[in-house]
Structure 1
Amino acid sequence: MELALKHAAEQTLKDFPKLTADNLALSIIDVTKPSTIDRGDWHGDAPFYPASVVKLYIMAEVFHQKLEGDPEAARALGEMIRLSDNDATAYLIDLISDTCPGPNLEGRALAKFLDKRRVVNRWFASMGYDISAMAKPWSFGPFGREKQLLGGDARPNRNRSSANSFASLMLWIVRHRAISGADSDAMLALLERPLNPPRADENQVKEFIGESLPAGSREWSKAGWTSEVRHDAAYIELPGGRKIILVIMTRGTADDVKLIPAIAKSVLSELQ
């Protein structure tokens, strides 16, 4: 697996010269066998701004707190994962952290706000993850205390994850160990991505891993992109029976819609 990713990464860097090695991270887990895994990565522990892929951590925390049964939370989960809606994500972040947006805070009030927002970080840290998922994703912003949360110009509290961390979370869900088997099944239902999307505004297949998959494949995924980064984290079942978790994270070439499908195609070719 390690060698396959190395070859795929090297080919990608040749084919996309604007992409540099430090701006590419790959992680892969072969879960075809039910009792064992085969794992590899390329810069898999490198930290990246995760864009909307961070919503995987938010989803997991909603189930961890057993809030998914609430009708509004359930609706927000669907909008957040299936459509990558930032408003739904903001609602869920406030729900799981017991916070609300507003003007600047000072002193103890700000410290309490920041501590509450670390709820996802603390839970995943207890399981060995080094991630940050405390900031809301914004189309325009942030404002007020949400801007304070980032911690100044250096933005030390900005959302952060590695490809390996996302792959581990997907593995946890795919193996039906994320909180409970029923919770894992519910998360997989949210993540299932039709390769021929019924809605025109569904854009987490085209321009991402799903675009490169052969006919007859199935995919469960969460993509994310900004003007800075373009990522995808997917569990895929191939027609031949192989089952793979693949995470692709890129930075600096986010406007290239051919990049992630090309990387995925190269990885799959190396695995044949």
Structure 2
Amino acid sequence: MDNYNLPESDNENKSNEKDLNFQERRKIRRNRKVNFESQLTYFQESRQKEQKSDSEKKLSFYQIVFLFFTITPLFFSLAIFLSKTIFKEQLSQIDALQQSQESLENKQQDFIQETVSELRLPQLPNTSTSTSLFNQYTNNNLLNQEDNQDIYGQLQQNKNEQLDKVVESIISLCQKSGLSTKNLSITLLDVNIGVKAGYQSEKLRYPASVVKIFWLVAAINYLPQTDNRAEIKNNIEKMIKQSDNDSSGYVVDWLTNTTSGEALDSAQFQKWSEKRKSLNKIFSQQYGNLDITHKTFPLPKQNYFKPEGRDLQLRGGEIENPTRNKISTDQTTWLMYGIITNPGYIEAKRLLTTNLATFDWKDSSINYFNPVMSLFGESLPTNIEFVSKAGWTTQTRQEVAYIATRDGKTRYILAIFAEDPAYSKDKTIFPAISKRVFELMSNQ
């Protein structure tokens, strides 16, 4: 239909619609333009931000590089300075340690010399009127004394028939028990009259833990010169009261400034062994030849269950037939006599004393060496003074003891070393010997 034929009012409506549509479209175009401009502006701003961020990143990178090359040398310089400082301190500590070690060695040597010159244990009574092999064999080496088969018959001493009979009674008791006396040594000293009797008493034999009384005397002499007394005294006490091998090893190391360890080359071992042998020098001037340089094994805390390394070297490198500690029953009796008569060794006497009235030697919970069971003290009255040190291995049995009644009428020292597995296995022989000797000595 043609619009011209429409009424006028209709034409006006059409015109108004056209005008309205035009305005809307214009508005829409304007809005689109605004939106486009807004988006463009946003895009431009975003682009600017990204460019700025990239610029800042580049700047941060350059700053890091700059800081790295600036600060790193400072750190290196500081590290070098600290290293030099620490190195100097370490050198100073090493020098101080070396000086301390040298001082300790010098002090040790001074102790040895002082002890050798000043240690004067009382001699056995009546030695001036007896021919003592202590002096006769002082300048002989250990091997020669060991090999001398006539040593047993060369003792010319004051005779005491009653004391000799006691020793003969001991020998007879052993023989009747089916035990050989070939490797047996006995020393009996009557403290009240100052006379001793013996059987093979100057023969050097393996002492087992009896050697610890020699280390005890040396330690007591040296103790006032040391600083770490508490730990050392604790080890000394355990060495005697419990016969603890780890503690005795500690005492030996402390006395000689040595340690156990791997084998040493010839030069190092020579120096190390001389330190160990300083123990012999302490006693040799008065006691003659002896060897008390070897630790007692096993040492469970140090994981040494047999001699190894330098300790094995000291024994000649032999396990089956090694060089071992060697002392005689006479020497042991002499030392015990010094301990009980010299006020300077009252602490040693205390450590060696067992109160038979209060010590329950039958207690099965005792987890250390029992100083009474199967030994001298087992068969003795409980109301006596008993000062002793014993040793026992699968091949030997040894003991030295000072035994005295409370009234002082009976006082004697008995030392017996038996290097025979039969004595080691026989748990009754030492108590039987001790009982007989006490009865005979009490009736004199």
TM-score, with length taken from structure 1: 0.90
Superposed counterparts of 1:102-251, under 5 Å? 102-139=261-298, 140-153=305-318, 154-156=321-323, 158-176=324-342, 181-182=343-344, 184-195=345-356, 196-197=358-359, 200-201=365-366, 203-239=370-406, 241=408, 242-251=410-419
Percent identical residues: 29
How far the C-alpha of 1:270 sits from its partner, in A, is 3.0
The residue that corresponds to 2:430 in the other structure is 260
The DSSP-based 3-state class of the residue aligned with 2:372 is coil
Give runs of ≥4 in structure 1 deviating > 6 Å: none
Superposed counterparts of 1:22-33, under 5 Å? 22-32=182-192
Q: In 2, are the aligned partners of 1:9 and 1:263 still within 8 Å (CA)? A: no
Question: Which structure has more RCO (C-alpha within 8 Å, separation ≥ 6)?
Answer: 1
Q: Unaligned stretches of 5+ in structure 1?
A: none
Q: How many residues align?
A: 261
Cα distance in structure 2, aligned partners of 1:5 and 1:12: 11
The residue that corresponds to 1:58 in the other structure is 215
The residue that corresponds to 1:83 in the other structure is 242
TM-score, with length taken from structure 2: 0.56
Greater share of residues in helix:
2
Matched residue type, 1:107 = S
Cα distance in structure 1, aligned partners of 2:221 and 2:286: 13
Q: Deviations over 1:70-111 (max 9, x none)?
A: 111100111000000000000000000000111100111000
Q: In 1, are the aligned partners of 2:355 and 2:382 still within 8 Å (CA)? A: no
The DSSP-based 3-state class of the residue aligned with 1:231 is strand
Cα distance in structure 1, aligned partners of 2:200 and 2:258: 35
Instruction: Tell me which of 153, 167, 189 is aligned to 1:5.
Output: 167
The residue that corresponds to 2:233 in the other structure is 74
Q: In 1, are the aligned partners of 2:349 and 2:387 still within 8 Å (CA)? A: yes
**Which entry has the higher C-alpha Rg, 1 or 2?**
2
Cα distance in structure 2, aligned partners of 1:237 and 1:224: 21
Matched residue type, 2:246 = D
Q: In 1, are the aligned partners of 2:375 and 2:430 still within 8 Å (CA)? A: yes
The DSSP-based 3-state class of the residue aligned with 1:21 is coil
My pick for the range that moved more, 191-200 or 248-257, is 191-200
Quickly say closer, same or farther: Cα 1:240–1:213, change in 2 above 3 A. farther
Greater share of residues in strand:
1
How far the C-alpha of 1:3 sits from its partner, in A, is 2.4
The DSSP-based 3-state class of the residue aligned with 2:425 is coil
How far the C-alpha of 1:240 sits from its partner, in A, is 5.2
My pick for the range that moved more, 120-129 or 262-271, is 262-271
How far the C-alpha of 1:116 sits from its partner, in A, is 0.5
Matched residue type, 1:220 = V
Pair 1:20 & 2:186 matched? no
Q: Unaligned stretches of 5+ in structure 2?
A: 1-162, 299-304
Q: In 2, are the aligned partners of 1:7 and 1:270 still within 8 Å (CA)? A: no
My pick for the range that moved more, 125-134 or 193-202, is 193-202
Q: In 1, are the aligned partners of 2:262 and 2:310 still within 8 Å (CA)? A: yes
Cα distance in structure 1, aligned partners of 2:372 and 2:400: 11
